[in-house]
Structure 1
Amino acid sequence: MNRIKIVGLICLLLGLNSCVDQINFKLDKPERERLIVSGLLTDLNETQTVYLSTTTSNAREPLSVGDSIYVMDDKPRPFSGAWVKLIDETSGKTWDYQQPKEGQYELYGFVHESPDARYVLEIVMSGAVYRSEPQAIPEVIGSDELSVSFERTRLGDNPDAAQAVIKTDVTLPEQVGDYYLRWAVDEAYFWDLTFFPNPFNRPPPLCVVFDFPEPERITLVNGDLLNAPSGKTSQIVAKRLVDQSFLSRHYFNVRQLSISRDAYEYWRRVGEVVNNTGSVFDTPPAPIKGNLYNVNDQNEVVLGYFEVSKAKMTRIFTTLADVPYFLEKICVYEPGKSRDQYDPTCLSCNAFPNSIMAFPDWWFDE
């Protein structure tokens, strides 16, 4: 049986910049492509993002990379040209998403105004209409107190790898049960490009890089299993190997998300697949049912999830002074060394898949 890897796209919004969080699942190659939807709508004042892509299939056409070169791959391909909109089924109000990048759709200026709102994502593409189940934004959420510690750990053949551990001491919502929490973590760090001498003594451009410290970690709390209104719990929300990204200010942006029971069950099942050890008692890798469907074909399998949540953002950053290990600077100018001998990440911020040449608005607020 032909087996492939399908990448589940989990949307984590990064303030001014959005990235894609990837989790790999092995699935049978179907006869037709399947739609993957990854989206998160929150009550935060930020850009809301949805990612659309399609899986491989036995009918997939090769990808042209030149005049006469064609490449066949099994990776999900971004889908562009769809019409994506958000609908509040209670009021009838709609918002249209824009497409700034291939497969990426963004909604600007969204404001959650009513607790009665029931939100639906609608996607029109390739003659088909897809919708998500109606969802309300939950009303309760806890709070986070973050800390970062450094420790040694075994990683592969390295018995002494250095890593940063991001932990939260959580204050739970002020009620007994009937809430479900998830944590999503992204990172942003300043990257010091090589300063080449020049007549005007002009420094290189600013460079801030965005990424995910540990995309396959899924941290969940089921309030129904706790009897502790306003109680405390501790959770590790991410681990990150220590490298040159810690030479300067390195942020960890932690979103606590208050989600529905259905969303909690979805992420719990994703966690089971991600942590599958291969024993006969484990859940076998398989498509995980999300909350989207084809309006005209209920039998079509749509992968992914459109998540609606109440959110609270907490940030913490480290500097070189916090790191108890020696870190070598790798982008230092060396006389006589030609530019093509430097790593591309030392020459241009564009060498990073997700970066901007300016500080985010919140950079110096902490």
Structure 2
Amino acid sequence: MRKIIYGFKLLLTLSSILIPTVSCIDRLDFWQETVEGQLIIYGLFTDSEDIHTVKISTSAPFGFRPKGVSNAEVYLIISGEEKKAYTNTGNGVYELHGLKAEEGQSYALEVELEGSVYKSKFQEIPKHVGIDSLSYKVAYEPFKTSLDEHVFKVYTNSKLPETSEQLFIRWIVEEAHYWQLLWIPPGVPLPPPCFIFDVMDPTKVNLFDGTATNSRSTEKLLATRKINNAFLFPFFVTVKQLSVNRESFEYWQKIEIVINNQGSLFDIPPARVLGNIVNTDNPNENVLGYFEVAKSSVSRFYVTSEISPIYLQPICEYIQGKPSNLYSSECLSCEGRAAGRDWTSIRPSWWVYD
């Protein structure tokens, strides 16, 4: 059995749809026998005014990241007629600016690629979404291994609207941290800042089924991550609560089952998790991923190094006489620090702290 891990970073991601420099979409883990070159399409369109992102890739051999597909034409179809083109930004990332989901309209995704047309089902935006009250906790406990580690945990106490309509909720947790590159004084300009973005705890699927309970509130542990030098400077957490339709919710339920499946004789057998996108000329083609339309609410907070119970060692401090090529790559460039994550040197508009 192979474990294929691939990341769609909106991010929002996530998901997710933040400003142009923060487009993290949560990662998906599929336990399955995946055929190399299998098409993967994932997109999220919400009522947010931020940038909406579609990621297109093909599955790679075991142990390698999926390969971005940059020769597609991508369109948002509005109520069956109007088309809005996504902008190709390279490496399989397509962005849509200046548009948001509205009640009463239906939306679908269309992808034209090498003579084939892929389409999702039409969806309408749900009418209701809840509000999150976020908190965090620092703990010392087993994490990823059997060894105890200092970890940072994000919680929500969510208040959901009173409504007779079915309510299905999914949460995406994104993180962002500042990083200062090596500065060699005097006479050398201060290097540009690095803002690094990622999905926190990407294998955790956070869901709430409003049809299974009468409660209009829920408390959840949303994400856990190890405390490390990302907390040297202000560290921001963004939580997106998404109100989705039943089909989308059931898709993520399947993803959760696949991720948590341990392979015992009595478990549900691992299998491909197919979404709502099909090849209109060849419906038998297995297309991975999903296009979902959601109503969203966004909550955000930040912490500083003061929360860390351990000393966080600066690693990019200038040492007189030490050649720059002897410093690690994360001290010399934002790309080196990001190590495949999203990054920018432009301060996000919401990056405000006391």
TM-score by length of 1: 0.88
Residues 1:242 and 2:231 aligned together: no
Residues 1:282 and 2:282 aligned together: no
2:140 and 2:165 map into 1 onto residues whose CA distance is: 37
Task: Say which SS state the counterpart of residue 286 (structure 1) adopts.
Answer: coil
1:19 and 1:258 map into 2 onto residues whose CA distance is: 18
Residues 1:99 and 2:105 aligned together: no
Task: State whether residues 5 and 74 of structure 1, in contact with CA within 8 Å, keep that contact through their aligned partners in structure 2.
Answer: no
Task: State whether residues 30 and 273 of structure 2, in contact with CA within 8 Å, keep that contact through their aligned partners in structure 1.
Answer: no
Task: State whether residues 45 and 292 of structure 2, in contact with CA within 8 Å, keep that contact through their aligned partners in structure 1.
Answer: yes
Task: State whether residues 16 and 360 of structure 1, in contact with CA within 8 Å, keep that contact through their aligned partners in structure 2.
Answer: no
Partner residue in 1 for 2:49: 45
1:214 and 1:75 map into 2 onto residues whose CA distance is: 18
Partner residue in 2 for 1:233: 218
Alpha-carbon deviation of 1:7?
4.0
TM-score by length of 2: 0.91
Alpha-carbon deviation of 1:240?
1.2
Partner residue in 1 for 2:345: 357
Task: Specify the code of the residue in structure 2 equivalent to 1:310.
Answer: K
CA 1:154–1:272 in 2, change beyond 3 Å: closer, same or farther? Answer: same
Partner residue in 2 for 1:252: 237
Of residues 12, 16, 34 in structure 1, which corresponds to 2:20?
16
Partner residue in 2 for 1:125: 113
Residues 295-331 of structure 1: CA deviation (Å, up to 9, x unaligned): 1222121111001100111001101122232211111
Residues 1:167 and 2:147 aligned together: no
Alpha-carbon deviation of 1:6?
3.7
Of residues 247, 251, 255 in structure 2, which corresponds to 1:262?
247
Residues 1:314 and 2:319 aligned together: no
CA 1:154–1:9 in 2, change beyond 3 Å: closer, same or farther? Answer: closer
Q: How does 1:15-34 map to 2 (within 5 A)?
A: 15-17=19-21, 18-19=23-24, 21-30=26-35, 33-34=37-38
Alpha-carbon deviation of 1:112?
2.7
Partner residue in 1 for 2:73: 83
CA 1:175–1:73 in 2, change beyond 3 Å: closer, same or farther? Answer: closer
Q: How does 1:129-140 map to 2 (within 5 A)?
A: 129-140=117-128
Residues 76-134 of structure 1: CA deviation (Å, up to 9, x unaligned): 221111111001125x2221001111211111111334x21110100111111110011
CA 1:322–1:33 in 2, change beyond 3 Å: closer, same or farther? Answer: closer
Residues 1:333 and 2:318 aligned together: yes
Alpha-carbon deviation of 1:226?
1.4
Q: Please provide the CA RMSD for this pair.
A: 2.1
Count of residue pairs the alignment pairs up: 344
Task: State whether residues 128 and 243 of structure 2, in contact with CA within 8 Å, keep that contact through their aligned partners in structure 1.
Answer: yes
Task: Specify the code of the residue in structure 2 equivalent to 1:27.
Answer: Q
Structure 2, unpaired ranges of 5+: none
Task: Say which SS state the counterpart of residue 121 (structure 1) adopts.
Answer: strand
Of residues 198, 202, 218 in structure 1, which corresponds to 2:186?
198
Task: Specify the code of the residue in structure 2 equivalent to 1:50.
Answer: V
2:233 and 2:142 map into 1 onto residues whose CA distance is: 25
Partner residue in 2 for 1:65: none
> Rg bigger for which structure?
1
Residues 311-363 of structure 1: CA deviation (Å, up to 9, x unaligned): 11100110112223221111111122221221111121121232111210111
